Amino acid sequence: MLVNQFTIQTSERQQLVDITSRVSSIVRDWDVPSVLVYVPHTTAGILINEHADPDVAADMLTALDAIVPVDAGYRHAEGNSPAHVKTSLVGTSQVVPLEGGRLRLGTWQGIFLAEFDGPRMRKVYVSAL
């Protein structure tokens, strides 16, 4: 079965959740060259960055808060336009190469669900490519 999915209950308004081991265990038996990790949401994304030092994830959220204006004359009535913008800056998905069912991530790389408008229940789709 080369399509799978799981859910994550986030606990903060903004949060980077390390999902590397979840993805890793799903693809363990997959004899395919790469995998797509995708979120079907518009205020949460997927990014790859350092997961050895959790400060990097914290700094990412700090920087995105500095980059995306809180109020720029937005029209969207729900008031969460910055979360939509952050999602398009980091991206809705990532593709990771595989080798013998093992993610070919670099030494410092981890896969994160990036929550920008939580806490919410989020879905992650994992598909063979």
- Name the site residues for a copy of itself (rule: CB under 8 A): 2-3, 33-34, 36, 38-42, 47-50, 53, 55-56, 58-60, 62-64, 66-69, 72-78, 81-82, 84-85, 87-97, 99, 104-109, 123, 125, 127-129
Two structure tokens written together for 42: 């518009």
In whole angstroms, the minimum distance from the beta carbon of 25 to a copy of itself comes to 19
In whole angstroms, the minimum distance from the beta carbon of 116 to a copy of itself comes to 12
Return the number of the residue (13 or 85) whose C-beta is nearest a copy of itself: 85
Tell me if residue 12 falls in helix, strand or coil. Answer: coil
Return the number of the residue (64 or 113) whose C-beta is nearest a copy of itself: 64
Give the residue among 89, 118, 94 at the shortest CA–CA distance from 106.
94
Return the number of the residue (13 or 92) whose C-beta is nearest a copy of itself: 92
Q: Rounded to whole angstroms, how far apart are CA atoms 97 and 104?
A: 5
Contact 48, 109 (CB under 8 A): yes
Q: Rounded to whole angstroms, how far apart are CA atoms 26 and 3?
A: 9
Tell me how crowded residue 10 is: count the other CB atoms within 10 A of its CB.
20
Across the strands, what pairs with 95?
36
In whole angstroms, the minimum distance from the beta carbon of 1 to a copy of itself comes to 11
Two structure tokens written together for 6: 């799981």
Return the number of the residue (13 or 105) whose C-beta is nearest a copy of itself: 105
In whole angstroms, the minimum distance from the beta carbon of 21 to a copy of itself comes to 18
